[in-house]
Amino acid sequence: MDFKTKLLNYFNIDENLYKELSKPVNELTLPNPSKFEGMEKATNIINEAMNNNDKIVIYGDYDCDGIMSTSIMVKCFNILNYRVGYYVPSRYIDGYGLNEKRVQDFYDKGYKLIITVDNGIAQFAATKKAYELGMKVIVTDHHEQQETLPEAEVILHPIISNYGDVVCCGAYVAFMLASSLLNKCDKYLLSLASIATISDMMPLKKYNRDIVRLGIYYMNQYHYYPISLLADNSTIDENVIGLKIAPKINAVGRMIETTSINSLIEYFVSDNKERIDTIYNFINETNEKRKLLTKSTADTLEIEDNVHSIIFTSDSKEGIIGLIANALMNKYNLPSIVLTKDHINPNIYKGSARSKKGLAINKFLLENKDILLTSGGHEQAGGLSLEEVNIDELKKRFEEYATKNPFEAEKEDYIDISITDINKDNYNFIRSLSPFGEGFKLPLLKISNIKVSNLAYSKSKLHILYPLSVNQKIIGFNYSKELLDNYDYIDIYGTLGYSMFKSKESFDFNIKRITDKENHIIS
């Protein structure tokens, strides 16, 4: 069976669907903004406000999706040559979503129209206050709606507005509104929306897939300065977005306790390279602090033998406890909850939980609401708050729950290949199905019966660096010669990658894990 057939079978797609998935995309591929019910009304309200020279403010959110959403709208108005205000709330000062205090501040400053992006669908008190003050509100959001809806002139929401059957991110909704106002598709704004689609882990289907494909193309073609900086000037794909760009943007909202997070909007809408460089240094420094703090905090914990769960009380910032919980879960392969004191009320602890298939976090939180103040989440991630006096009880119940609901063994599909399959044609064939992400993972490949004595290593003998030809090699980090010399033959699992060194292309097999002949993982 040839490589192409194996790959199509792996994804369970036929030739016709492959042609559909790999066909070129353009601006006309995206659904028209008018597909959103209420888009015409929202556009008319905004145009009327601009005609009246009314003050307009954009209210966003502190994560990557919220930052991209706010930047899209501000840049849109800049293109229209209409100055608007904007505000990105601080996680620590404002919390999530539009609040009554900010509504009052906006009113006092003379704003007459509030446009929420990536929030607003659950801000009932804030929108009500706006109406009491005679202000108008347009809500653009994508989060799960409740039975009742907030008071607003218009609500633009993929589900409420009957846009489609695939959930999209807040920045996508903002991009559709911007496209309606501009009466065109702006390539830079689309690129920002594609970054948010990846960062918010939206399913890469239909219009989500198209916007990411198109955004990646534009970002590599036009080399937008602020985006290229975040990508370390490398070629941009979904991995670069997910591993380099999005974490840097998110780091500011996680770490910064002041409203200086608003500088990120200036970063994406400014044309001043000197100013962009200054803000980039701030973003990068913040991200490095975030990485160091997450790792150092996770490394301080030593767990007891024979436990089935982790609850760790930390003095870390609320914005990174989810990252710490995830790091602990991956390190110990145990469900993890990390708690930290509320920055306002020291008797209250806020927590973030992480799990894998087999232990449902949302079910656990629901069953234990009697000791929780707030809770919510999904099967593998959730958030909570509780009084300090209930922490010990939470630990007891979580351990009991984890004992009864262990992680299920992860079964990962793969494609059997040979060394000769590591080549340019097969790499390009895989990439023709990109982008890969939520709901459409990059295929895992397996090469069996590698003779260990044939392997080559880096100078340090700590990493596999096995050249197969001038433009082919197998790469594996942290697999030392000393370790592998204990085996005769191994199986390697990984992905096909591309690299360029001194103008020479190389198509590489990047090792993700190694097993012995009994299928035991070699660490």
C-alpha to C-alpha distance for 278 and 283, rounded to whole angstroms: 9
- CATH number of the 300-404 domain: 3.10.310.30
Residue 383 φ/ψ, nearest 5 degrees: -130, 155
pLDDT of residue 145: 83
Q: Give the 3-state secondary structure of 327-340.
A: HHHHHHCCCEEEEE
For residues 498-519, one letter each, b for 16 or more C-beta atoms within 10 angstroms of the residue's C-beta and e for the rest, the string is beeeeeeebbbbbbebbbeeee
CB atoms within 10 A of CB 28: 7
> Identity (one letter) of the amino acid at 439?
G
Q: Give the 3-state secondary structure of 100-148.
A: HHHHHHHHHCCEEEEEEECCCCCCHHHHHHHHHCCCEEEEECCCCCCCC
| Range picked from 15-24, 66-75, 86-95, 466-475 for highest mean pLDDT | 66-75
HSE toward the beta carbon, residue 418, CA cutoff 13 A = 4
Pairing of strands 504-515, 489-501: antiparallel
Cα first-last separation, the chain? 32
pLDDT of residue 260: 79
pLDDT at 523 over 70: no
pLDDT at 226 over 90: yes
Pairing of strands 310-313, 136-140: unpaired
CB atoms within 10 A of CB 445: 25
Q: What is the DSSP letter of 242?
A: I
C-alpha to C-alpha distance for 182 and 209, rounded to whole angstroms: 23
C-alpha to C-alpha distance for 20 and 213, rounded to whole angstroms: 13
Whole-number percent of the chain with pLDDT over 90: 80
C-alpha to C-alpha distance for 262 and 265, rounded to whole angstroms: 6
- CATH number of the 415-515 domain: 2.40.50.460
Is the model more confident about 95 or about 444? 444
DSSP 38-95: THHHHHHHHHHHHHTT-EEEEE--SSHHHHHHHHHHHHHHHHTT---EEE---TTTT-
pLDDT at 510 over 80: yes
CA distances from 267 to 63, 175, 225, 241 (A): 15, 18, 10, 17
C-alpha to C-alpha distance for 440 and 437, rounded to whole angstroms: 5
The region of weakest confidence among 190-199, 209-218, 448-457, 500-509 is 500-509
C-alpha to C-alpha distance for 438 and 275, rounded to whole angstroms: 35
Q: Residue 8: pLDDT band by 50, 70, 90 thresholds?
A: very high
**3-state percent helix, strand, coil for the chain, nearest multiple of 5:** 45, 20, 35
pLDDT at 259 over 80: no
Give the right CATH number for 3-15+32-282 from 2.102.10.10, 3.90.550.10, 3.90.1640.30, 3.40.50.1100: 3.90.1640.30
Q: Outline where 256-272 has alpha helix (H).
A: 263-269
pLDDT of residue 202: 94
Rounded to 10 degrees, the C-alpha dihedral 288/338/352/356 comes to: 100
Closest CA to 313 of 294, 340, 295, 293: 340
What is the residue extent of each domain of the chain?
Answer: 3-15+32-282, 300-404, 415-515
Give me the mean pLDDT over the 232-240 stretch.
Answer: 93
Q: Confirm if 189 and 224 have CB atoms less than 8 A apart.
A: no
C-alpha to C-alpha distance for 165 and 167, rounded to whole angstroms: 7
As a whole number, the mean pLDDT across the chain is: 93
The region that residue 350 occupies, defined by phi over 0 for left and psi between -120 and 50 for alpha, beta otherwise, is beta
**23-70 tens-digit pLDDT:** 888 888 888 999 999 999 999 999 999 999 999 999 999 999 999 999
pLDDT at 302 over 90: no
Is the model more confident about 373 or about 471? 373
